[in-house]
Amino acid sequence: MLYIVATPIWNLEDITYRAVRILSEVDGIACEDTRTSKTLLSHYDIHKPLISYHSHSGKSKTDKIIEQLTSGKDIALISDAGTPGISDPGFALIQEALLHDIEVCPIPGPSAVITALSASGMPSHHFLYLGFLPVKKWRQTLLRRISENKTETIVIYESVHRIVKTLTQLSEYFGADHQVVVARELTKKFEQFHRGTLSEVALFFEENPGKVKGEFVILI
Ligand code: SAM
């Protein structure tokens, strides 16, 4: 069995009883960065063989995990934070597992997209999750396409390096007066929701470089 286990997006308490039990019972845990995962696993006194599995892991790494699964072992896949496969590795391994008739079992838990959306105050019955926007030319094409026909809340992941640039660019496509929520440092000590128009929030981050820190979810 391949378990897809969601882990905290920061706060170590945000993990389910079931996730802790599964992680304690499996034969091995595939994870992105073994050092990051060790912090979580030792907090819960879980000591299992770790298999490094990240975005640059090629087919041979996937095949090794599949070998273990077909030999009858149970493996859990976790990522550095949140739900594996959501802007994180997972898809290739899951596809390969299914091709080999290996059962894939989700163990639900945190994801930044749902955490941000749930408290954003933005309409949340329908939403479009874009993950990280592409960095190259396709970015403009995508922004033009979604701005022309926006019917639901759009959720975007962003890093510290591009937050101001992305807010400024969103303001060009959606209009400076369009409402935005930027959820920053979710579940961390300095968690903040910045609400306002795109121009206001972009200006806030430009004028407060001290707040351009950590991890961001943009909702428009
Ligand atoms: N798999 C993760 C999930 O389920 O949300 C997402 C991993 S993705 C590599 C990392 C991005 O998720 C960050 O750049 C940020 O946009 C968002 N993110 C993750 N943790 C966050 C947090 N604590 N606060 C705000 N955004 C976060």
Q: Hey, what domains does the chain have and what are their CATH numbers?
A: 2-107 (3.40.1010.10), 112-219 (3.30.950.10)
Q: Supply the pLDDT for residue 55.
A: 83
Question: Does any ligand 1 atom lie closer than 6 A to the CB of residue 159?
Answer: yes
Give the pair of three-digit tokens for residue 10. 């920061």
| Helix%, strand%, coil% for the chain, nearest 5 | 40, 20, 40
Residue 58 above 90 pLDDT?
no
For 82-114, how does the pLDDT look when each residue is reduced to its tens digit (9 = 90+)?
999 999 999 999 999 999 999 999 999 999 999
Residue 213, Cβ neighbours under 10 Å: how many?
A: 13
Question: Does any ligand 1 atom lie closer than 6 A to the CB of residue 215?
Answer: yes
For 114-160, how does the pLDDT look when each residue is reduced to its tens digit (9 = 90+)?
999 999 999 999 999 999 999 888 999 999 999 998 999 999 999 99
- The residues near 14 (Cβ < 8 Å, ≥ 6 apart) are 8, 109, 110, 187
Of all helices (H) and strands (E), which one includes residue 72?
A: none
SS3 string, 109-166, reads: CCCHHHHHHHHHCCCCCCEEEEEECCCCCHHHHHHHHHHHCCCCEEEEEECCCCHHHH
Average pLDDT, integer, range 56-80: 95
Q: How far is the CA of 150 from the centre of ligand 1 (A)?
A: 23
pTM (2 decimals)?
Answer: 0.96
In the chain, % of residues over pLDDT 70: 100
Question: Does any ligand 1 atom lie closer than 6 A to the CB of residue 120?
Answer: no
